[in-house]
Each structure stands twice: as C-alpha cells, then as structure tokens.
Amino acid sequence: MDYKWLGHNIQVIRKLKGLTQQELSDQIGINLQSLSKIERGINYPTFDTLQKLTEILEVTANELLAGELKSTSHIEAKILKFLEREERLNVELAHGQYDNPLDEDEWIEYELQKLREYITDYIHSDKRNASDLYPLKKLIQGQKLQKLIDRYDDYYSFDLFGETIEGHKQVNPYLPETVKTIIADEEGHISSSLEFPDNSGE
C-alpha cells in the first residue's frame, strides 16, 4: 500500500463531493487540524478514522491507498481548479482584513470592488446567454423587494410608536404632504387636492 497518495486522494474525493474540510472532519469526529495534516500527508489516519473516511467518501481503503486516483476526468480537474479559485477568493474576502495593512473603510471599499469585478465578469462574458442571467435577476429582484419591505417596516414602526424620521436620508413616502390626494367632488368628477395657479388671465 502506498501511503504517499492517501492524503491527496482524500482531498480530491472530498472536493468532488462538495465537502469542506470542516464538514468532513465533523462527520468523521476529528478536528479540522487533524484532517488538514492527513490531507497534506503529514499524519496518517488511525484505522477507525480511515474506516469512517471510506464510509463517508463512499470509496474503499484500497482506492485511497492504491496510488494516485485515476478516476478524475479532465472535466473534474477543471472543476477542482474552479473550486480552489473560488475558495481562495472567499477566504480573501472573508478574512483578508485581518492580514492586510488597510484600515476598515479601505478594506470595505476593496471588498466591494472585488465583488463588483467578479459579478461584472460573469455578466459580460461573451458566452453568457440571457437564460444564464435570469436566476441572477430573480435574486436581485428578491433583494430589492426585501429592502423595500424593510423600509416599510421601519416607517410603520415610527408611526406605531409616534416617533419621527426627521433628518433621515430617506423621505417617508406615507406622509400626506408627499402624496397627491385624489378626491371625488360633488358632481362625480375627479380632481386633485393640490391648488394650481389660475392662468386664464382674468
């Protein structure tokens, strides 16, 4: 048995199954550092840990120990590279502020810039079809609607507790003076309650 490829094969199969190191370590009952050392070939798993790995990854011990995994196609290799790039970007955006000289405001601006670039590259790809963008449109539409609902809830809370929103950036759309109130007159005609200047010249 060749232990040289054990950690490599565990890592390859874990990623193909869409599991993070944390998720796999939780399932087999060891800590994250132990699994990381196994995947890097620094430590070897105990028999019990190896048995749990084979059960969760749905492979045999021989497949893990028989040498470099040969079942990955060129498409799977591309998938693994994509996942590695995505994971690096996620880590950078989630934790990079702790390891860089930027202050908080500069880091927020940098984070927004990277996210805008990522989304823009996806949208403007030459191979992008309209059907690819519909799920993104649906997501944005949901976010916009939720923001509107949150604003309504804020204004409703102000009204409920008799508070004021004076000085707030957003104008309350529910104040009477901001709305054109349409009323019906005695003759059944519709007219605006706002007063308009008389331009008849009389």
The predicted structure's pLDDT at residue 192:
40
- Tokens representing 65 are 């120990």
Q: Are 9 and 69 in contact (CB under 8 A)?
A: yes
3-class state of residue 190 by DSSP: strand
Spatial separation of the C-alpha atoms in residues 143 and 136, rounded to whole Å: 11
Report the predicted TM-score, pTM, of the whole model to 2 decimal places.
0.39
* Residue pLDDT, tens place only, 7-36: 888 988 888 888 899 999 999 999 999 999
Q: What angle do the packed helices 47-57 and 6-16 form, to 10 degrees?
A: 30
Give the DSSP per-residue string, 20-87.
Answer: -HHHHHHHHT--HHHHHHHHTTSS---HHHHHHHHHHHT--HHHHHSSS-----HHHHHHHHHHHHHH
Q: Which residues pair with 165 in a beta bridge?
A: none
| Domain locations in the chain as residue ranges | 3-72, 84-128, 131-191
Task: State yes or no: pLDDT of 61 exceeds 90.
Answer: no
pLDDT in tens, 130-185: 888 999 999 899 888 888 887 777 666 665 555 555 555 455 555 554 444 433 44
DSSP string for 153-169: HHHHHHHHTT---TT-S
Right CATH for 3-72 from 3.30.9.10, 3.40.50.300, 2.160.10.10, 1.10.260.40 = 1.10.260.40
Cα radius of gyration rounded to whole Å, the chain:
30
34 vs 201: CA distance, rounded Å: 90
What percent of the chain has a predicted confidence (pLDDT) above 90?
Answer: 16
